[in-house]
Amino acid sequence: MTTYTMAHPASIEDNRYQERILQGVSRTFALTIPQLPPSLYPVIGNAYLLCRIVDTVEDDNGLSSEQTRTFAEMFIQVVSGNVAAEAFAEALFPLLSDHTIPAEHDLIKNTPAVIRITHSFNPTQRKALERCVRIMGQGMADYQDTESLAGLKDLAALNRYCYHVAGVVGEMLTELFCDYSEEINLNKSALMKLAISFGQGLQMTNILKDIWEDRKRGACWLPQDIFREKGFDLNELQPGCTDPRFDEGLGVLIGIAKAHLRNALAYTCMIPPRETGIRRFCLWALGMAVLTLNKINQNRFFIEGDQVKISRKSVKATVLITSALANQDWALQRMFELTSRHLPEVDILGKKV
């Protein structure tokens, strides 16, 4: 088998491209990733771009289910060094639809630059990135085949979906943090368990925020059983719905997301306090998720994501406050309880506590 690893080493231009495209595809991650220690910044920035490429393949509505699966599998092989990135980019780029944003078109076109950086990392880092892309790519292709407005079968199915698109990212980040720091590595087992929950908390927040945008493209990631228990059928869900049974089901999911975000805080507090960059990276994502959940909770009958989008002022406040408290566990825990106090209180199974 031909191996394409490091056929052309990463250049200064490749690294400049990575920094530039991060700004284009995600303002949030372009903000949080530079907080990381210098040795982690390039690899985690690269990891985000790899995941974004997988996401682009999965989200482009111009691709058939078969094409999505083919390109997802091809990209897995590209990251592993078994297929040339140039072949992937040249095959996929012309097929992308206008649904895919210009920055993502650019990212696909420049996949070779991203992959040259990927292949410059140490073996532990590469293994972590390859595993993440493999699980995410295979999982997303599987779930695209079952997309419908009826929702997922149950909470367990939602948990599996969140693992494939976000929990596995938490595991990858933990591997990278543990490779970076022997002190962090001492808590690896506990961190790995919490990492999956951290990812699910962030992903559930996104799912709730994007309910209506997802439905427009024929998808619903809400679990049927949670709403069925309240007497509501997700097939009946329409924009402008004010059914109190839907309100109750949504409240349970908001509470479950909160429980996962509490685990995200526990994860963050297990990072040594002197690693303020890693803590800030975690805290900013966590803080913005809590604020988003508050917006959703206050307006459960919203009809588009922009209605529950947090303001730039709120983002700045989150950055300032969490940065100031980054190495003080007691203060962070108090802040979490204070800012999430109006959210429903349930455990990660949706049961009242």
| Rounded Cα–Cα distance for residues 191 and 171 (Å) | 8
Same domain for 211 and 331, yes or no, is yes
Same domain for 297 and 232, yes or no, is yes
Q: Which domain holds residue 270?
A: 146-353
Same domain for 186 and 320, yes or no, is yes
Q: How would you class 67 by CB atoms within 10 Å of its CB: exposed for 0-12, middle for 13-18, buried for 19 or more?
A: middle
Q: How would you class 102 by CB atoms within 10 Å of its CB: exposed for 0-12, middle for 13-18, buried for 19 or more?
A: exposed
In this prediction, residue 8 carries a pLDDT of 66
Reading the block at residue 305, the tokens are: 């994501």
Distances in Å between the Cα of 166 and the Cα atoms of 51, 67, 185, 243 are: 10, 23, 21, 30
Q: Which residues of the chain have pLDDT under 70?
A: 1-8
Same domain for 77 and 210, yes or no, is no
Cβ(280)–Cβ(179) under 8 Å? no
Q: Which of 18, 44, 55, 13 is nearest to 203 (CA)?
A: 55
| Residue 76 counted as domain residue | yes
What is the sign, positive or negative, of the torsion defined by CA atoms of 298, 304, 305, 309? negative
Same domain for 159 and 232, yes or no, is yes
In this prediction, residue 194 carries a pLDDT of 98
What is the sign, positive or negative, of the torsion defined by CA atoms of 132, 4, 116, 54? negative
Reported pTM = 0.94
Same domain for 199 and 87, yes or no, is no
Same domain for 115 and 154, yes or no, is no
In this prediction, residue 78 carries a pLDDT of 98
What is the sign, positive or negative, of the torsion defined by CA atoms of 344, 349, 352, 353? negative
In this prediction, residue 31 carries a pLDDT of 82
Query: How many CB atoms are closer than 10 A to CB 1?
Result: 6
| Rounded Cα–Cα distance for residues 270 and 187 (Å) | 7
Total structural domains in the chain?
A: 2
pLDDT digits (tens, 9 = 90+) for 104-152: 999 999 999 999 999 999 999 999 999 999 999 999 878 877 788 999 9
The one-character DSSP state at 308 is G
| Rounded Cα–Cα distance for residues 289 and 28 (Å) | 12
Reading the block at residue 350, the tokens are: 């949706």
| Residue 141 counted as domain residue | no
Cβ(329)–Cβ(293) under 8 Å? no
Same domain for 106 and 158, yes or no, is no
In this prediction, residue 5 carries a pLDDT of 54
| Residue 320 counted as domain residue | yes
In this prediction, residue 353 carries a pLDDT of 72
| Rounded Cα–Cα distance for residues 18 and 32 (Å) | 15
Cβ-Cβ contacts under 8 Å for 23 (sequence gap 6 or more): 30
Report DSSP letters for 193-228, one per residue: HHHHHHHHHHHHHHHHHTHHHHHHTT---SBHHHHH
Question: Which amino acid is present at 298?
Answer: Q
CATH number of the domain bearing residue 273: 1.10.600.10
Report DSSP letters for 88-154, one per residue: HHHHHGGG--TTS-HHHHHHHHTHHHHHHHHTTS-HHHHHHHHHHHHHHHHHHHHHHTT--TT-BSS
| Residue 52 counted as domain residue | yes
pLDDT digits (tens, 9 = 90+) for 258-268: 999 999 999 99
Same domain for 24 and 165, yes or no, is no
